[in-house]
Structure 1
């Protein structure tokens, strides 16, 4: 009886582990017709592999060593919504850096432009620029093996078990009809709701 129980436990564990789908596999094999399907049917509930990102300061950030949840922000310095979201992101870092690791990956290879944006960002955010060896093409950014195929800004929320629990696209930005105060309020509320699943 004891041997049977151990065998069943081993089989259950093996089957559970083998059913885990990783992000890159899910994205690259996804037959989604649009971005929303890509997110809902392929990205959500997939798992993060280990990535070693090289930051703007030449430090290595290994996702396998991060014990907190992760907010992975894909951005570009030429995107107005990316700039518009900065105050709200900084607010989230101030409030939740003890529970969430904030990593920002850039489409840009131009370090001067990234450094200009970095001046506006909370210093606790890990900034990861695209390098020459990274694949950069329309609609596809590959940094250290992490494939990003969506527009900018896109934020991925990854829990402590390294599971993708949410994806957020776009942000409000100042315009003739929307002030900075309104933008900050909208973006702040959206990010609070977005982070809620990992703050419980």
Structure 2
């Protein structure tokens, strides 16, 4: 009887351990399992010119099937030095996939550069170009030196299975937000706007869009840091914030800037309607 009990306990232990391991699903596996059905639905939405439905399908795919998966390891190529494996980045990663033929909004790169210069000590900002080295060189002068600019030639890369998924499944430009263990917290599209938008407005639009990804990564860092605090430390943190607002100062500032931008945008729209 005792032997059976011991065997039962061991069985439950190993079953639970295996189940926990199984939950660490690679991104490539998850996207492969769902991309065909997603493409069928999104093609139908675009055929009906239902852009709202298309956005909803993308959000649902990310939220229900891709968030919480782990990015596969693959190698990227900087302008100088040896190839770098994704697993070698030790900080949370803000990854943008791009290509030289994509035309960014006029304020996109300046907004990204400002955020990178402010947060590169806490986050690895990686801009991945689906291009060769020469084309990356042409673009490199536009970006902050604190951005890790890398490229991949799909035809020659040995990790073609994941490269194919990253480049073709969801398209690009695209933003991937990962914690230090390469767990995907979210995936978002780069915001777009009309080409006639002013530099100031374009900067504000992109800053507020990009900063939401930064806030997500910083909040995850803070959450992990707070989980290591003692119970007494946690009580002190909670009681010091009577309003229930648990945002960091930086998150609060970003939200305030976004609210300011939103009010300015609404004011401009109202003036246009009046005219």
State the TM bucket, normalised to the shorter chain: 0.7 to 0.9
Structure of greater relative contact order (alpha carbons < 8 Å, 6+ residues apart): 1
Task: Say whether residues 1:75 and 2:92 are aligned partners.
Answer: no
Question: Shift of the alpha carbon at 1:195?
Answer: 2.1
Structure 1 residues 84 and 29, CA gap change in structure 2 (3 angstroms)? farther
Residue correspondences, number: 192
In the superposition, the TM-score normalised over structure 2's length comes to 0.61
Structure exhibiting the larger radius of gyration computed from Cα positions: 2
Listed as ranges, the matches of 1:110-149 within 5 Å are 111-131=133-153, 133-134=155-156, 145-146=162-163, 147-148=165-166, 149=169
More helix by proportion, 1 or 2? 2
Deviation by residue 1:110-134 (Cα, 9 ceiling, x = unmatched): x433212110111222222232634
* CA RMSD in angstroms, aligned pairs only: 2.7
- Check the 8 A contact 2:70/2:184 in 1, yes or no: yes
Q: Gaps spanning 5+ residues in structure 2: where?
A: 43-56, 220-275
Listed as ranges, the matches of 1:1-200 within 5 Å are 8-30=12-34, 31-32=37-38, 33-34=41-42, 36=58, 37-81=60-104, 84-109=107-132, 111-131=133-153, 133-134=155-156, 145-146=162-163, 147-148=165-166, 149-172=169-192, 175-176=195-196, 178-200=197-219
In the superposition, the TM-score normalised over structure 1's length comes to 0.81
More strand by proportion, 1 or 2? 1
